[in-house]
């Protein structure tokens, strides 16, 4: 399916949605659960998705992470990272848990970014970015988000900063863009948010160009957390208030309509951002198939 998607549109980008540090463990787990006769072809498919020896052939063109996703690194490689954390505590007597978390998170981001540097360099900085998110708890704290964004961006040239879709977040996106730092607008669900993000990027880019800022490592994506709109966006509650009964199919069509509208507006208005679709679901069944993604 992913191969067909890539063939249909050469500009399509399929990203790995977790830390690259757990990819090999995930592959091993999938192979363990597979039938013996399927394992060889699955090995080739997994190598096609991510091949560190031939980055130009890697199907995954980017990575998106956040602090909760990086928790999986601890779950899978707990012993190693427990020792790493102990080392930080030993080197930094009296360190509090917040700084300990942040230092560990940055190390996970840095190592993940290094795994995709080959893709980044082979594509002339077009692909191979890893999105690293500022602390989600600081969604309304401009000063803290900017401080964290700068720290994350300094870890590797292919680190893209995930900033939430709050009023404060959009101001930070404008500032980061004006500095030539790549951004990913996350925690966004609606057309007004997408347009606010696109405008922030456009304005920041104009400032960067005016000031002669180096843009060789810059790009912008706007993430539509599609199914989160149906799950968390209050759609069901609003429908109930108006006496409308929504089926799961109705919700899926609503999510798709939002993404299509956003994509159309970004293209029509020549915004420099690219829409990224995530939070996809595999229900309800399509044409009798029990597992099928409406969003794909």
Q: Is 74 exposed, middle or buried (0-12, 13-18, 19+ CB in 10 A)?
A: middle
* Annotation marks residue 162 as catalytic: yes
Q: Which of 62, 148, 164, 159 is nearest to 101 (CA)?
A: 148
151 & 179 share domain: yes
Q: How far apart are alpha carbons 177 and 173 in whole angstroms?
A: 6
The rounded percent of the chain whose pLDDT value lies above 70 is: 97
More confident residue, 265 or 288: 265
More confident residue, 219 or 280: 219
More confident residue, 296 or 40: 40
Contact call for residues 263 and 275 (beta carbons, < 8 A): yes
Residue 51 in 3-state DSSP? coil
CA distances from 198 to 118, 195, 201, 203, 245 (A): 28, 5, 5, 9, 33
Last-in-domain residue among 89, 117, 133: 133
- pLDDT of 227 reads 78
More confident residue, 295 or 141: 141
Confidence of residue 44 (pLDDT cuts 50, 70, 90): very high
Confidence of residue 292 (pLDDT cuts 50, 70, 90): low
168 & 250 share domain: yes
Q: Which of 114, 133, 232, 126 is nearest to 173 (CA)?
A: 133
239 & 224 share domain: yes
H/E stretch holding 251 reads helix 248-268
292 & 149 share domain: yes
CATH number at 262 reads 3.20.20.70
Last-in-domain residue among 112, 133, 154: 133
Residue 53: domain span: 1-133
- pLDDT of 1 reads 74
pLDDT at residue 233 greater than cutoff 70: no
Contact call for residues 281 and 294 (beta carbons, < 8 A): yes
More confident residue, 227 or 65: 65
Confidence of residue 290 (pLDDT cuts 50, 70, 90): low
Give the pLDDT confidence of 184-193 residue by residue, as tens digits. 999 998 999 9
- pLDDT of 191 reads 94
67 & 166 share domain: no
Residue 134 in 3-state DSSP? coil
pTM equals: 0.91
Give the pLDDT confidence of 106-141 residue by residue, as tens digits. 999 999 999 999 999 999 999 999 999 999 999 999
Q: Which of 294, 278, 296 is nearest to 184 (CA)?
A: 278
116 & 161 share domain: no
**Mean pLDDT, rounded, for 78-101:** 96
H/E stretch holding 224 reads strand 220-225
158 & 282 share domain: yes
pLDDT at residue 45 greater than cutoff 90: yes
Q: How far apart are alpha carbons 170 and 193 in whole angstroms?
A: 9
Question: Phi/psi at 164 (nearest 5 deg)?
Answer: -70, 155
87 & 112 share domain: yes
102 & 174 share domain: no
**Mean pLDDT, rounded, for 143-166:** 98
Give the pLDDT confidence of 168-177 residue by residue, as tens digits. 999 999 999 9
Last-in-domain residue among 102, 133, 164: 133
Identify the active-site residue in 162, 209, 261, 289. Answer: 162
Q: How far apart are alpha carbons 138 and 242 in whole angstroms?
A: 35
151 & 290 share domain: yes
Question: Phi/psi at 5 (nearest 5 deg)?
Answer: -60, -45
**Mean pLDDT, rounded, for 252-264:** 92
Of the given ranges (33-47, 146-160, 279-293), which has the lowest mean pLDDT?
279-293
293 & 168 share domain: yes
87 & 154 share domain: no
Calculate the average pLDDT of the chain: 92
The rounded percent of the chain whose pLDDT value lies above 90 is: 74
Q: How far apart are alpha carbons 148 and 80 in whole angstroms?
A: 25
Count of domains forming the chain: 2
- pLDDT of 149 reads 98
């Amino acid at each position: 399916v992913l191969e067909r998607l890539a063939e249909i549109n050469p500009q399509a980008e399929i990203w790995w949605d977790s830390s690259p540090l757990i990819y090999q463990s995930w592959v091993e787990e999938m192979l363990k659960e597979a039938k013996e006769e399927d394992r060889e072809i699955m090995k080739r498919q997994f190598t096609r998705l991510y091949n560190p020896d031939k980055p130009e052939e890697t199907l995954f063109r980017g990575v998106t992470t956040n602090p909760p996703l990086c928790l999986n690194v601890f779950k899978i490689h707990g012993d190693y990272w427990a020792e790493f954390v102990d080392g930080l505590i030993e080197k930094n007597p009296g360190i509090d848990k917040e700084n300990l978390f942040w230092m560990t998170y940055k190390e996970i981001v840095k190592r993940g970014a290094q795994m995709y540097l080959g893709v980044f360099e082979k594509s002339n900085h077009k692909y191979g970015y890893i999105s690293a998110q500022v602390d989600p708890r600081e969604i309304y704290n401009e000063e803290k988000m900017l401080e964290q964004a700068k720290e994350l961006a300094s870890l590797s040239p292919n680190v893209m900063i995930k900033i939430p879709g709050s009023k404060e977040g959009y101001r930070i996106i404008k500032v980061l863009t004006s500095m030539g730092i790549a951004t990913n607008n996350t925690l966004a669900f609606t057309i007004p948010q997408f347009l606010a993000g696109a405008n922030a990027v456009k304005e920041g880019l104009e400032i960067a160009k005016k000031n002669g800022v180096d843009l060789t490592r810059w790009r912008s994506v706007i993430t539509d957390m599609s199914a989160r709109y149906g799950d968390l966006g209050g759609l069901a509650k609003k429908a109930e208030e108006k006496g409308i009964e929504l089926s799961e199919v109705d919700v899926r069509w609503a999510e798709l309509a939002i993404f299509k509208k956003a994509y159309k507006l970004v293209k029509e208005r020549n915004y420099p951002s690219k829409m990224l679709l995530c939070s996809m679901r595999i229900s309800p069944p399509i044409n009798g198939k029990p597992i099928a993604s409406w969003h794909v």
